A and B are shown apart, each in its own frame.
Chain A
Amino acid sequence: MNTHPYLRAYLAGILIPTLVLPLLLALFIVLRICLHTPVPIEQALVFPMALVPVLWGLWNMLWLVTHMRTHLPIGLHGAILPLLLAPCGTIFATNMGVLKLLMWGLSWFNVVIIPWALIVPFFLAALIGYYLVWKYIVGFVNRVLGIA
């Protein structure tokens, strides 16, 4: 297991999102096809389904490149990723007409408005969630694949 460490890091990184995305797909099918929800949620799903696994893989490769220099624990490294995903997702969603940033909150599909008072704790929870997933799951997979 001494060869292709970056390929192994990429594969370890994409494991979790590729397991989670079918759940999102199932949710989409239930909401859009079974319940006929009149909101084009597929527009919001394109970004996570297309880019998030790739970014997780690349982010784990970056950790492999840099951790000898920075000594940054993998959990903290993973917790930084939402800071990149959030602006990427915001740019994508605002350009697709999915999302609008308002003074009092986020408007989704011009249907649902989520107030900032809810979004801030949700984002902090996402940071903690990413920290835990990267520390315990991605770190474990890295060790299994011999790159940690």
Chain B
Amino acid sequence: MSFQSLEWLFPLVITLHNAEEAIWLPNWTKRTERWPVRVTPGAFRFAVAVVTMLVYALTWLSAVTGKQSVWTYLAFGSMAFMLANVLIPHLAATIALRSYMPGVATAVLLNLPALTLLMVLALREGYVSGWKSVAYSLGVAGVLVASVPALFKLGEKLGL
């Protein structure tokens, strides 16, 4: 089992995870008063679809460019972000609000093992290395955290 042969697990688990969120999260946010973010179901699903497409594009570019390419670092950064996403907000919100946050099942059962495996393989096989991987992870996390509210607004402007 190598990183190259398993890399497409990344878009696969993210698609399933995002599908769980797209189906059940909008209604959950309406029901859960203590959840701070309010977004229309259409805008949320638009943002989720864009992020999913981005993951496919990054995986493809990473797969064809190989070790130590910018795209592989960006894909690795996205994996790190999605791995952190298992804890924050999914598990943290589920525990704090005592309400199952949609996405927890796929995050824990799929994202956590698959992304951990992929990141370990990427580091061990030299696809990414050193502080550069940490820097890309933080950079990608920053960009994604900033872009998700922008995608929500764009989705609402599009009338979704």
Residue numbers of A with Cβ under 8 A of B are 66, 69-70, 80, 83-84, 86-88, 90-91, 94-95, 101-103, 116
- The residues of B that contact A84 with a CB separation of less than 8 Å are 12, 15-16
Check A101–B24 contact: CB distance below 8 A.
Answer: no
Q: Which of the four size classes fits the interface of chain B? A: 20 to 34
Q: List 15 A-B contacts (CB under 8 A).
A: A66-B23, A69-B27, A70-B41, A70-B45, A80-B15, A83-B15, A84-B16, A87-B9, A87-B10, A87-B11, A91-B6, A94-B4, A94-B5, A94-B8, A95-B5
**A-B contacts at CB below 8 angstroms, number:** 44
- The residues of A that contact B10 with a CB separation of less than 8 Å are 87
Bound-state Cα–Cα, A101 to B64, Å? 6
Residue numbers of B with Cβ under 8 A of A are 4-6, 8-12, 15-16, 19, 22-24, 27, 41, 45, 52, 56, 59-60, 63-65
Known: A101-B63, A103-B64. A91 touches B23 (CB 8 A): no
Check B56–A83 contact: CB distance below 8 A.
Answer: yes
- The residues of B that contact A86 with a CB separation of less than 8 Å are 8
